[in-house]
Structure 1
């Protein structure tokens, strides 16, 4: 009579690896379908776990979404410490933006997650919180003068809009343009916001132009 084989000892679950797998699956799902389109079961299947385990690790879909956004934005490409300390921040932002929006390249997860989730009120709130405490705060901290949060928000708006038009919609004037031409056009836009004087007034030619216009108006009154 042969002995029955001993039952296999269950392999201990690596909590850290499981959590990372769920988070990676969530990033892929939210980037593809947005907050409303991605389900917990789909995310669980992508990580090789059950939906119950997803809830055990993250508590709710909202919390999972918030952490997915945070993870996607944890390693910035444009607003790195080195870039923020560069000699010409405006040119650096322009160059990096053109570089990451090459035609045919896959847009960044963080951008896709926000783009595909913007129609959800709750997802938009979570996204706004992440942007305000992350990229906007970082950008504003690199700006001198008044209205730094507003100027930082405008810079981020240009970045996001450019990504949509060039990479998502594929506007031919942008998608087919030479990178150096786009960089040359974007740089002064960013510089006008980065180098603004106190009161939010841009320095240089723009200010002189306004003064000249004001003088002409005064002369005709």
Structure 2
């Protein structure tokens, strides 16, 4: 049975609201996700998060312990990225493009919150962990070829770079351009990085991705005359 939450705001003459503890905690976490993704760590206060839910800030400390602990939970909201990595390789390009074409706090709010918190050492460490340990290693294990880790880091660079320009720098095209165009071009950039290795017929040697420089290729032939 739901019980009255200690510390909830009670208006004069208004009976105390009865809230389920789990529901209140979830509401506070979702409010924090939106606040941190929009304003970053430094510009977000516990009082504002509590006010967004309509409760006393004491409940934030009760359920999460501290602002740092609350931010740590928010930064874990990267489920869309995890789902992307768990899907088929040929869906990663379009999926990443779709993720990047959304508004930052709708696509990967945990990542956006980290990108908007450069002054927090904890946020930067969590970002490093997300990029190198969670994303890059997870993707590299699934990519064929000896340079799987390098290609995975290039995909991560695209994810972080575009996220930074969208959410923090807010460049004209990535921050407010056509989302479908962003999706299509991002998918095209990712596709050759995650595609299975193309081997020459009968030879078993790796064939460079289209456009990659190699001895005798057009990229090394010098300008045409």
The reply to whether TM is greater than 0.5 is yes
1:117 counterpart SS class:
coil
- Tell me if 1:79 matches 2:84: yes
Point out the structure with max Rg over C-alpha.
1
Q: Is the alpha carbon distance of 1:131 and 1:48 closer, same or farther for their aligned partners in structure 2, counting shifts above 3 Å? A: farther
Task: State the Cα distance separating 1:26 from its structure 2 match.
Answer: 0.7
> What residue ranges of structure 1 are gaps of 5+ in the alignment?
1-7, 217-221
Q: Which moved more, 1:44-53 or 1:133-142?
A: 133-142
More helix by share: 1
Which among 170, 173, 181 is matched to residue 171 of structure 1? 173
Task: State the Cα distance separating 1:119 from its structure 2 match.
Answer: 3.4
- Residues in 1 aligned to 2:64 and 2:179: alpha-carbon distance in whole angstroms: 44
- Residues in 2 aligned to 1:188 and 1:100: alpha-carbon distance in whole angstroms: 14
- Residues in 2 aligned to 1:62 and 1:187: alpha-carbon distance in whole angstroms: 38
Which among 53, 56, 74 is matched to residue 50 of structure 1? 56
In the other structure, the counterpart of 2:6 is none
Task: State the Cα distance separating 1:9 from its structure 2 match.
Answer: 9.2
Q: What TM-score, normalized to structure 1?
A: 0.67
- Residues in 1 aligned to 2:24 and 2:111: alpha-carbon distance in whole angstroms: 25
- Residues in 1 aligned to 2:37 and 2:83: alpha-carbon distance in whole angstroms: 19
State the number of aligned residues: 194
2:27 counterpart SS class:
helix
* RCO comparison, higher one (Cα < 8 Å, 6+): 1
- Residues in 2 aligned to 1:98 and 1:30: alpha-carbon distance in whole angstroms: 23
Asked if the contact 2:140–2:152 (Cα under 8 Å) also holds between the matched residues in 1, the reply is yes
Asked if the contact 1:69–1:130 (Cα under 8 Å) also holds between the matched residues in 2, the reply is no
Give the superposed CA RMSD. Answer: 3.8
2:84 counterpart SS class:
coil
Asked if the contact 2:29–2:70 (Cα under 8 Å) also holds between the matched residues in 1, the reply is yes
- Tell me if 1:25 matches 2:31: yes
**Which runs of structure 2 are paired with 1:183-198 in the superposition (5 Å)?**
183=184, 186-187=187-188, 190-192=191-193, 195=196
Asked if the contact 1:77–1:96 (Cα under 8 Å) also holds between the matched residues in 2, the reply is no
Residue by residue over 1:145-188, the C-alpha shift from the partner in whole angstroms, topping out at 9 and shown as x without a partner, is 3354443222111123234446731238x935973x97367535
Q: What TM-score, normalized to structure 2?
A: 0.66
In the other structure, the counterpart of 2:140 is 140
Asked if the contact 2:32–2:74 (Cα under 8 Å) also holds between the matched residues in 1, the reply is yes
- Residues in 1 aligned to 2:140 and 2:151: alpha-carbon distance in whole angstroms: 7
Q: Is the alpha carbon distance of 1:131 and 1:67 closer, same or farther for their aligned partners in structure 2, counting shifts above 3 Å? A: farther
**Which runs of structure 2 are paired with 1:4-153 in the superposition (5 Å)?**
13-70=19-76, 72-76=77-81, 79=84, 81=86, 84-86=87-89, 89=90, 92-102=91-101, 106-107=103-104, 108=107, 109-153=109-153
Q: Is the alpha carbon distance of 1:16 and 1:204 closer, same or farther for their aligned partners in structure 2, counting shifts above 3 Å? A: same
> What residue ranges of structure 2 are gaps of 5+ in the alignment?
1-13, 199-205, 221-225
